[in-house]
Amino acid sequence: MVTQHAARSAFDPVRDAQAIAVIRGMAMDAPFHARSGHQGTAMALAPLAHALYSRVMRHDPLDPKWPNRDRFILSAGHASILQYSLLWLNGYGLEVDDLRAFRQLGSATPGHPEVGLTAGVEVTTGPLGQGFANAVGMAIAEEHLRATLGGDVIDHHVYVIAGDGCLMEGVSHEAASLAGHLGLEKLICVFDDNKITIDGAVDLTCSDDVVGRFGSYGWNVMEAGPISEDCDALEALLDRAKNTRGAPTLIVLPTRIGYPSPDFTDKHVAHGNPLAAEHISRTKEILGIPDEPFYAPQDLVSAYRAHVATRGEAARGPWVASGAPARLADYATTGLSARLEPHLPSFEADQTPATRVAIQKVLSTATGVLPNIVAGAADLTGNTGAKLSTDRPFSRHDRLGRQIYFGVREHAMGAVANGIALHGSLVPVVGTFFVFADYMRPALRLATLSKAKVIFVFSHDSVGVGEDGPTHQPVEHLASLRVIPGLQVIRPADGNETAAAMLAALDHDGPTALVLSRQNLPIVTDGNAVRRGAGVVDDASDPQVVLVGTGSEVSLCVAAGRALASAGIPSRVVSMPCQSTFLAQDRTFRESILPPGIPVVSVEAGSTYGWAAIAHRAIGIDEFGASAPGSVALEHFGICVPNVVRVATELASRQ
């Protein structure tokens, strides 16, 4: 590892000042060139970011995905030009032309950092507070992997920069509380305490005691004082934070937004409005750099990249030579379904498990086969089935545990799960009641943007929940999740489809939502419909109508099909656990399931929105639910055999 002395010797105070000035120049020039962007925060934090990347963090631009690197998250993602400037200067593959293309179509420097698009970006940040919670997830992943594999394989820190907006958002409260409870000592958050938001001074809207708040969560809180321009002091403080044991650390760093602009320092207009040309010129004069756009002295850039490359090789080289990569092989997140499939449980016709019960049996099997599965729920572990066979809690006292108890913190749970997944090597399975997916919407959306392999388990999926009433009965939720691009939404019909859904989730390049029943369901499928989104589960030789169901309504369609047969109306029953997968199939396959010319009736205990592309008539629930026993509520809303038979008979008679 590079020593402090070696890190400092590469950059004397003159070089430090020059690097910081260039970063600040880029922070002004790119938003000006784009006519869009936030330069004020980036300007203020340039010394901190420089100290982190050149002195403190263990990272290697030649291998941006090195598993034992320190992670850096810019939760205040609007200040993305700060991170892009550092990635350019450090040699992560960005060049000046990429900074010129800031916020432009197809560039590697979009308005907010996006993982998978720009090397060196760990998570997709934008909605404030999400990155902070992602960092908590990454710290959980680090603790578990270090305990499981040993500190010679995984031992690193997670750094996150958060602003006033991040700490105002409710997700930060949930995530900070969890992090303090778990004592995540490798998590270091720098709070950019500039007392400014877009509307103006923070005291317009907020008078929180941040130090007292985080202290009550069990964090180690360090008040930095006026050192935001002093690289040596910043490095020393960060080193102290790294040596903290038993608690995450919050560094409260007072900064001056827009510094050193003579016109906009400490002013809220520096937050989101690009500076005018004359303001940039005056600021560059103070910085002592030429008044030219995208000033990038080659000697500085070369020296900076050489310095960082040397530090990176010194950290990564011995790790590779030690054989650590081979010890991580079992934790690869590819090929998991092939490893699990031979061990999957199957469900026989005499069994009637609720799909929330079936998923627990599947997860219990997965626990013994896949060491990188971790699971947890928001105070609903047994209720949702997001429970592993060992039920060994992950805690501040036991990092080997794979069962994470999130408490009543759905908002944080989703974002923390994204962080666990994007850390690498672990696949999180997290559960809550389906109606509370609303509390997780930002995390669900960011999971798909990030292609984070998270398995979201949502149980109690319809008015079949019963007596709890409309506040707890999801109606519009299936439709609302299905419109999120890239989110694989699977509503299995029975235990066999639930087992197959787990394989589909492990194969999917991104997140999956498994939507599961509270009530027991008969076994009516072999599970094969999941692979291509739909499949025939009951058929007649010459069907006059096709009944398409999902989840608990598939067995209802089977019963309705038999009633129709008794009335002389042959039918086909189709299970469609995943609309998006089915609609992505070729036309030949789609027509083999839903033959042209035969009317289709869809049956789903939720909103009918979206079914017009598949069915001629949709039976569903386009209003809020009602408090009643589940079977009574379902019958009240027409999710019952007589109503399906009535609609199907009417449709078939028109042919």
What pLDDT shows up at residue 524?
98
CATH number of the domain that 625 lies in?
A: 3.40.50.920
What pLDDT shows up at residue 188?
98
Res. 273 pLDDT band, cuts 50 70 90: confident
pLDDT tens for residues 117-145? 999 999 999 899 999 999 999 999 999 99
pLDDT tens for residues 167-199? 999 999 999 999 999 999 999 999 999 998 989
Same structural domain, 170 and 278: yes
Amino acid at position 168, single letter: M
What pLDDT shows up at residue 362?
97
pLDDT at residue 423 greater than cutoff 70: yes
What pLDDT shows up at residue 391?
76
| Inside any domain, residue 327 | no
What pLDDT shows up at residue 272?
81
Of 321, 349, 371, the last residue of a domain is 321
Res. 13 pLDDT band, cuts 50 70 90: confident
Instruction: For Cα atoms 207, 186, 193, give the angle at the middle one, nearest 5 degrees.
Output: 25
| Inside any domain, residue 329 | no
| Inside any domain, residue 522 | no
pLDDT at residue 256 greater than cutoff 90: yes
Same structural domain, 189 and 129: yes
pLDDT at residue 7 greater than cutoff 70: no
| Inside any domain, residue 405 | yes
Amino acid at position 227, single letter: I
List phi, psi (to 5°) of 324.
-60, -40
What pLDDT shows up at residue 312?
97
What pLDDT shows up at residue 392?
92
Same structural domain, 369 and 420: yes
According to DSSP, residue 410 is labeled H
| Inside any domain, residue 520 | no
Of 321, 355, 383, the last residue of a domain is 321
Q: Give the containing element (helix H, strand E) for 602.
A: strand 600-603
Segment 109-123 mean pLDDT? 98
pTM above threshold 0.95: yes
Q: What is the dihedral of CA 499, 504, 506, 510, to 10 degrees?
A: -140
Neighbouring CB atoms inside 10 A of 583's CB total 13
Q: How many whole angstroms separate alpha carbon 294 and alpha carbon 312?
A: 26
Same structural domain, 356 and 480: yes
β-sheet with 545-549: strand ranges across: 535-538, 571-575, 545-549, 600-603, 617-619
Pairing of strands 249-254, 373-377: unpaired
Domain that holds residue 389: 336-515
Nearest partner of 340 among 259, 401, 427, 273, judged by Cα: 427
Chain centre to alpha carbon of residue 174: 16
Of 474, 492, 515, the last residue of a domain is 515
Same structural domain, 509 and 558: no
Give 176's Cβ-side CA count (13 Å radius): 29
pLDDT tens for residues 368-421? 999 999 999 999 999 999 999 877 999 999 999 999 999 999 999 999 999 999
Same structural domain, 396 and 263: no
What pLDDT shows up at residue 8?
44
CATH number of the domain that 51 lies in?
A: 3.40.50.970
Amino acid at position 567, single letter: A
Chain centre to alpha carbon of residue 306: 34
What pLDDT shows up at residue 5?
38
Chain centre to alpha carbon of residue 448: 7
Same structural domain, 84 and 140: yes
| Inside any domain, residue 596 | yes
Q: Give the containing element (helix H, strand E) for 286.
A: helix 277-287
Same structural domain, 377 and 300: no
Same structural domain, 364 and 313: no
| Inside any domain, residue 146 | yes
Place of tokens 């180690």: 220
Q: Give the containing element (helix H, strand E) for 492.
A: none
Same structural domain, 604 and 509: no
* Active site residue ranges: 410
Q: Please answer whether residues 650 and 619 qualify as being in contact, where contact means their C-beta atoms are separated by less than 8 angstroms.
A: no
pLDDT tens for residues 32-91? 999 999 999 999 999 999 999 999 999 999 999 999 999 999 999 999 999 999 999 999
Same structural domain, 138 and 232: yes
Q: How many whole angstroms separate alpha carbon 421 and alpha carbon 428?
A: 6
Alpha helix stretches (DSSP H) within 187-251:
210-217, 231-242
Nearest partner of 129 among 73, 181, 83, 185, judged by Cα: 73
pLDDT at residue 14 greater than cutoff 90: no
Place of tokens 């798909």: 448
Number of domains within the chain: 3
**CA dist list (Å): 421 to 205, 351, 587:** 34, 34, 34
Q: Please answer whether residues 374 and 426 qualify as being in contact, where contact means their C-beta atoms are separated by less than 8 angstroms.
A: yes
Question: Mean pLDDT of all residues in the chain?
Answer: 96
pLDDT tens for residues 459-508? 999 999 999 999 999 999 999 999 999 999 999 999 999 999 999 999 99
| Inside any domain, residue 543 | yes
pLDDT at residue 146 greater than cutoff 90: yes
* Residue partners of 590: CB distance under 8 A and separation at least 6: 582, 583
Same structural domain, 354 and 305: no
Res. 4 pLDDT band, cuts 50 70 90: very low
